[in-house]
A and B are shown apart, each in its own frame.
Chain A
Amino acid sequence: MMPNGAKAIVIGASAGAVQALSQILPRLPATYPLPVVIVVHVPADPSGLVALFASKCAIRVREPDDKEPIESACVYFAPPGYHMLVEDDRTIALSLDEPVLYSRPSIDVLFQSAADSYGEGLIGVMLTGANEDGAVGSAAIIDAGGTVLVEDPEHAFADTMPRAALARCPSALTLSLDAIADRLAQVGTI
């Protein structure tokens, strides 16, 4: 079910994100074999996400600069107010293009570019959220041969985002937060 050739993980979350990510990110070891690239919709600048999760996590947590190389064993949070994309040479590209679905950073923008770059080696994770951002991006990941995991809408803090993703991606896996954390923690260890 989970590809052994996984190269990167992308995660999208909105309302309720901090709680949901708190169940996942602390489970990843300091030597985690993949990069984890995350878009959370946050109004505030600075977002405080890096400080918050750095204190809870073994894995390194960063808010990247433009052109920063994407490395394994590191979590990257999109800087507030910027879209974050993955370049073909596996570096971070930031953009100030218009918000998508009122959001910048946008989950769709990250997922689409990461799907272009990583293809079947990409695992996308859609968590709680109250808008439909990420549904189109999830479909792009599936189209490129990647895998999409979606938080069970029945138990999500806000179910709009996971439901929208599932509606666009019938082949996505619906899992509890715990099960998502298990899967991600196991990637690369098998």
Chain B
Amino acid sequence: MDATLNQPASEPVEEIETYLLLEALHRRYHYDFRHYARASIRRRLRQACQQLGFASISMMQDALLHDEAVLTRLLDFLTVQVSEMFRDPGYFKAIREKVVPHLQTYPSLKIWIAGCSGGEELYSFAILLQEEGLLDRTLIYATDINPTALETAQKGIYALDRIATFTRNHQRSGGRTSLSDYYSSAYDRVVFDRKLRERVVFSDHSLANDAVFAECQFVSCRNVMIYFDRPLQDRALGLFRDSLSRRGFLGLGSKETLRFSEHADAFTEFVREEKIYRRRDA
């Protein structure tokens, strides 16, 4: 074979397969993972391949294109998100102490939990707002791309063995009530009170493809953008900036930063150590 036909450093086959599968997933089902951080995607695809019993990513792509059932299973690998209620209690404490006084000045509030996954963050917010007397005048948007996750969030049912962590976090977040006031247990599960989600709109929304849909006073998007590459992260941050009302608040995960984003100048640090930012408006 003529060596000049080859690229100088030949690309690993797995890279080609990964690119093609993500392209197929987008064109066939409109799920867009093309700008997800590649190192994690690679790991998840290897895992999916192994656990779903495919010999290669190309074989998995073939099955994916022709069998919709493979999509559901693959999505669970690609969007896996392990969370807990009141994760990073200091974040919620800072919201109570520093953000709530600002939120209280609004007659009505809109809060967006972007990438709500199984709903842990959503119920944390709902409980916090209830404790602070704000839930009645708040509309919460809980969005995710994974329909299974949205369904879980909508049900508000969690394994009983997770409650000890949730309770400890809630207390450390400055909770004014007992977490057990908000759920009832049955066998090895707990169900959160439906009152907490009366003011919640659950919706399929993609930070990669969809647009702004409401004007919010607070956007919480934690540990979602760590899975995005820089261009997609910039897209999402642009959406948040455009979704926020004047001087609205943005909360990120504890190891996320706006430092490397093209939108860094659109926000100011509000509670630096808890990664709570505020939209910069003159």
Cα A54 to Cα B41 with chains together (Å): 33
Cα–Cα, bound, A168→B45 (Å): 23
Q: Is the CB of A68 within 8 A of B260?
A: yes
Interface of B is mostly: loop
CB distance from A135 to the nearest CB of B (A): 17
Task: Say whether B39 contacts A113, CB under 8 Å.
Answer: yes
A63, B179: Cα distance in complex, Å: 33
* Known pairs A66-B225, A87-B37, A88-B38 / 16 extra A-B pairs, C-beta < 8 Å: A65-B256, A65-B259, A66-B256, A67-B230, A67-B260, A82-B255, A87-B39, A93-B39, A95-B40, A95-B43, A96-B81, A96-B223, A97-B44, A97-B82, A109-B43, A117-B39
Chain B positions within 8 Å of A95 at CB level: 37, 40, 43, 226-227
In the complex, A64 Cα to B257 Cα: how many Å? 10
Q: Which chain B positions have C-beta within 8 A of A112?
A: 43
Q: Which residues of A contact B226 (CB under 8 A)?
A: 66, 93-96
**Interface of A (DSSP majority class):** loop
Given the interface pairs A67-B260, A116-B42, the reply to whether A97 lies near B80 with Cβ below 8 Å is yes
Interface: A98 (CB within 8 A)? yes
Chain B interfacial residues counted at CB < 8 A: 24
A61-98 contacts to B, CB under 8 A, are: 64-68, 79, 82, 85-88, 93-98
* A contact residues around B44 at 8 Å (CB): 97
What are 5 inter-chain pairs, A to B, with CB distance below 8 A? A66-B256, A86-B39, A88-B39, A96-B226, A98-B80
Complex CA gap A88/B15 in Å reads: 11
B233–A67 touching, CB < 8 Å:
yes
**Chain A residue with the shortest CB-CB distance to B37:** A93
| B260 and A85 form a contact (CB under 8 A) | no
Q: In the complex, A112→B39 CA distance in Å?
A: 9
